[in-house]
Amino acid sequence: MNDTRKAVLDALDDGPVTGPDLAAQLDVSRAAVWKHVEALREDGFEIDSGDDGYRLESVPEFGGPAVEYGLDAPFDVEYHESVPSTNVVARELADDGASDVAVLADEQTGGKGRLDREWTSPSGGVWLSVVLRPDLPPARVPMLTLAAAVAATDAAREAGVDAEIKWPNDVLVGDRKLVGILTEMEGEADRVSWVIPGIGVNANIPADELPEGAVSLQTEVGPVERRLFVQRLLERLDELRSDPDAILDAWRERSATLGQEVRVETPEGIVEGVAKDVDLPGTLLVETDDGVERIHAGDCEHL
Ligand code: BTN
């Protein structure tokens, strides 16, 4: 967004301002003020003109200008209308040395899920990948996935949706999936170079565009302001990312899995029992007939 348009929005932030006052404040002509206001309206900003001047009524819920102007996040956010996969874009940024950057898109044409599955990503979603450079050994990285799950759950709850986490990192409403997370990383044996949690939130997506077994924020509470949802999610991720104990406590509190009978498909075979606890970096403790099993990875089903 150009600087004058940003200055117009900033000037309107505290209430209405007349055209002549705006022109004087910004040191441009009244015709130029009018032109910038028109351009902002075309970008979706609702600006009324009344007796007391121009008044900013609302910011668009999503999109490039909304993210640039109305998203105050602890990460730089790069917005795209449509990309094959935000994880792929984020990877390219990471390879170029970026850090603490979030890639956000309205639509993905080649969204990637866990275990080489496809991830349906129509327009209306929150498809988000965050480039992090934590000072961690690779074995500790799963805790960042737990943090991302907590952050997405909290943002969903603040939007009025009763979300819970299924181990390791699916966010569910009842038994239907609202959010999936695919974390990718690169590094050496003792230290990661970068980690990218890729977070897919079925946000403003109608029921007939969702895959089977999925739910969206829209189907639960109606369309949400995705800009504010993303802001909350990124704020929470930032608060948690270097605090393992807080991540674990928050994950336990939001868990749908703990206390449940589960069946987990692990690379070593099936484990069935009662999910007792989760331990760092994201290990599930399942009480079976043969004692407590510690599960590091797998597909978990609640029985
Ligand atoms: C899963 O299978 O549950 C994980 C889905 C992860 C989807 C997100 S959407 C944003 C990011 N970009 C991708 O291509 N995948 C992740």
The model scores a pTM over 0.90: yes
Measured from the CB, is residue 126 less than 6 Å from ligand 1?
Answer: no
Mean pLDDT, the chain, integer: 96
- Domains annotated for the chain, with CATH where assigned, are 3-58 (1.10.10.10), 64-253 (3.30.930.10), 261-302 (2.30.30.100)
Task: Evaluate if residue 189 carries a pLDDT over 90.
Answer: no
User: What's the confidence (pLDDT) of residue 219?
Assistant: 98
Q: Which atom of ligand 1 is nearest to the CA of 117?
A: 2
User: What's the confidence (pLDDT) of residue 199?
Assistant: 98
Task: Give the residue, out of 112, 205, 230, 234, with the most ligand 1 atoms within 8 A of its beta carbon, to mutate for a pocket test.
Answer: 112
Average pLDDT on 95-109 reads 97
Protein residue with its CA nearest to atom 8 in ligand 1: 200
Average pLDDT on 167-188 reads 96
Two tokens, residue 278: 């989760």
User: What's the confidence (pLDDT) of residue 201?
Assistant: 98
Higher-confidence residue of 232 and 189: namely 232
> Where on the phi/psi map is residue 238: left (φ > 0), alpha (ψ -120 to 50), or beta?
alpha
Protein residue with its CA nearest to atom 11 in ligand 1: 198
Measured from the CB, is residue 83 less than 6 Å from ligand 1?
Answer: no
Measured from the CB, is residue 169 less than 6 Å from ligand 1?
Answer: no
Task: Evaluate if residue 2 carries a pLDDT over 90.
Answer: no
Measured from the CB, is residue 87 less than 6 Å from ligand 1?
Answer: yes
User: What's the confidence (pLDDT) of residue 262?
Assistant: 98
CB half-sphere exposure, 255, CA atoms < 13 A: 24
Confidence of residue 14 (pLDDT cuts 50, 70, 90): confident
Average pLDDT on 270-274 reads 97
Task: Evaluate if residue 104 carries a pLDDT over 90.
Answer: yes
Measured from the CB, is residue 80 less than 6 Å from ligand 1?
Answer: no
The C-alpha atoms of residue 125 and residue 152 are separated, in whole angstroms, by: 13
Cα(144) to ligand 1 centroid in Å equals 15
Q: Which atom of ligand 1 is nearest to the CA of 112?
A: 14
Cα(184) to ligand 1 centroid in Å equals 10
The C-alpha atoms of residue 130 and residue 133 are separated, in whole angstroms, by: 10
Before 168, cis peptide (omega within 30)? yes
Measured from the CB, is residue 255 less than 6 Å from ligand 1?
Answer: no
User: What's the confidence (pLDDT) of residue 26?
Assistant: 94
Confidence of residue 137 (pLDDT cuts 50, 70, 90): very high
What is the SS3 assignment for the chain?
CCHHHHHHHHHHCCCCECHHHHHHHHCCCHHHHHHHHHHHHHCCCEEEEECCEEEEEECCCCCHHHHHHHCCCCCEEEEEEEECCHHHHHHHHHHCCCCCEEEEEEEECCCECHHHCECCCCCCCEEEEEEECCCCCHHHCHHHHHHHHHHHHHHHHHCCCCCEEECCCEEEECCEEEEEEEEEEEECCCCEEEEEEEEEECCCCCHHHCCCCECCHHHHHCCCCHHHHHHHHHHHHHHHCCCHHHHHHHHHHCECCCCCEEEEEECCEEEEEEEEEEECCCEEEEEECCEEEEECCCEEEEC
Two tokens, residue 199: 């977070």
Asked if residues 145 and 183 have their Cβ atoms less than 8 Å apart, the reply is yes
pLDDT digits (tens, 9 = 90+) for 51-86: 999 999 999 999 999 999 989 999 999 999 999 999
Cα(292) to ligand 1 centroid in Å equals 31
Q: Which amino acid is at 7?
A: A
pLDDT digits (tens, 9 = 90+) for 208-222: 999 999 999 999 999
Task: Evaluate if residue 115 carries a pLDDT over 90.
Answer: no
The C-alpha atoms of residue 196 and residue 67 are separated, in whole angstroms, by: 20
Confidence of residue 121 (pLDDT cuts 50, 70, 90): very high
For CA atoms 121, 72, 12, 160, give the dihedral sign: positive
Asked if residues 264 and 298 have their Cβ atoms less than 8 Å apart, the reply is yes
Protein residue with its CA nearest to atom 3 in ligand 1: 180
Cα(159) to ligand 1 centroid in Å equals 21
Asked if residues 261 and 246 have their Cβ atoms less than 8 Å apart, the reply is no
Look up the ipTM and state it.
0.99
